[in-house]
Amino acid sequence: MTDSRTAFDADRPTPAWDDGSDRPPPWRGEGPVETLFENPWMRLTRQHAVAPTGHESDYVVMRPKNISVGVLPLHADGTVTLVGQQRFALMNWSWEMPEGGAPFDEDPFAGIQRELAEEAGLQAAVWREAYRAEMANSITDERAIAWLAWDLSPATGELDPTEVIRIARVPFGDLLREIGRGAIRDMFTLATVLRAYHMAREGELPPELAKAMLASV
């Protein structure tokens, strides 16, 4: 069985300024790994750890059972599709790009295609991977992959039983401004929108699509 974490971790490039010669020793996990809690979506583990400084620690890590996947759908007129839903952890309403989780034995790209259809009712002819991220690497080993997608058309999918989704199609510039106002706070969405803006500015997207996106900025 293929594990998507293997490919995610294997091809990580090294920054141009880092030759690896001045790194402290890595963290070490010592002794057994205790599972404090587990459900179908995550596992909470505890292990004795030794820091690069030699300081000993009791380390708890939240380990998701999925890779996080997200996509920013880009329309030819420079608008983007967002989805709104209620979130339990913060007990708030959140506007986000379509996103979800792909089990480790599933191709993450297949997972995000499914999420786009389920949450936004869309499919895309063209996809571009935007970036890969470690979501909060001091407390979790959650990994994430974000895409941009365009040449969109309607699709059908079945929502999760817990989801009630609202859909909005907004100009890309309006989305940037709402991020600046603090109205959009989902970190996965923030990073993807800002990456999309950079790609549009730097010629990494089709010229007509980039022109339409930047027209409202």
Residues 174-184 pLDDT 10s: 999 999 999 99
Give the pLDDT band (50/70/90) at residue 130: very high
CATH code, 138: 3.90.79.10
Residues of the chain with pLDDT > 90: what percent? 94
Contacts 24+ apart (CB under 8 A), 154-160: 154/121, 154/122, 154/123, 155/116, 155/117, 155/121, 155/122, 155/123, 156/117, 156/121, 157/114, 157/116, 157/117, 157/118, 157/119, 157/121, 158/118, 159/118, 159/119, 160/118
Mean pLDDT score across all residues of the chain: 96
Determine whether 125 is exposed, middle or buried from the number of CB atoms within 10 Å of its CB (0-12, 13-18, 19+): exposed
pLDDT, mean of residues 120-139? 97
**Residue-level pLDDT at 58:** 96
Q: Provide the residue range defining the domain that includes 45.
A: 4-64
SS3 66: strand
Domain end marker among 64, 84, 113: 64
* Residue 158 neighbours by CB distance under 10 Å: 9
Q: What Rg value do the Cα atoms of the chain yield, rounded?
A: 19
pLDDT score of 33: 97
Residues 132-181: tens digit of each pLDDT: 999 999 999 999 999 999 999 999 999 989 999 999 999 999 999 999 99
190 has a pLDDT exceeding 70? yes
Each residue of 24-72: pLDDT tens digit?
999 999 999 999 999 999 999 999 999 999 999 999 999 999 999 999 9
Is the same domain home to 86 and 154?
yes
What integer is the mean pLDDT of 80-97? 97
46 and 130 in a single domain? The answer is no
Kind and range of the H or E run holding 167: strand 166-171
* 71 and 167 part of one domain: yes
Q: Which of 30, 46, 64 is the last residue of a domain?
A: 64
Residues 134, 155, single domain; the answer is yes
Task: Read off the pLDDT band of 78 (50, 70, 90).
Answer: very high
Predicted confidence band of residue 11 (pLDDT cuts 50, 70, 90) = confident
Judgement on whether residues 80 and 117 belong to the same structural domain of the protein: yes
Q: Which residues of 55-92 are buried (b: 16+ CB within 10 A; e: fewer)?
A: eeeebebeebebbbbbbbbbbeebbbbbbebeeeeeee
The Cα 172–Cα 214 span in angstroms is 7
Same domain, 73 and 156: yes
pTM of the predicted structure, to 2 decimals = 0.95
Among 64, 86, 110, the domain-final residue is 64
- 100 and 149 inside one domain: yes
In this structure, the answer to whether residues 59 and 103 fall within a common structural domain is no
8 and 107 housed in the same domain: no
Asked if 55 and 159 sit in the same domain, the reply is no
pLDDT confidence of residue 1: 59
Contact 176, 192 (CB under 8 A): no
Residue type at position 79 = T
- The verdict on 56 and 91 lying in the same domain is no
The mean per-residue pLDDT over the stretch 6-32 comes to: 93
Our count of domains for the chain comes to: 2
What integer pLDDT is reported at residue 2 of this predicted model?
86
Task: Please tell me whether residues 122 and 192 are part of one structural domain.
Answer: yes
Burial class from Cβ neighbours inside 10 Å (0-12, 13-18, 19+) for residue 4 reads buried
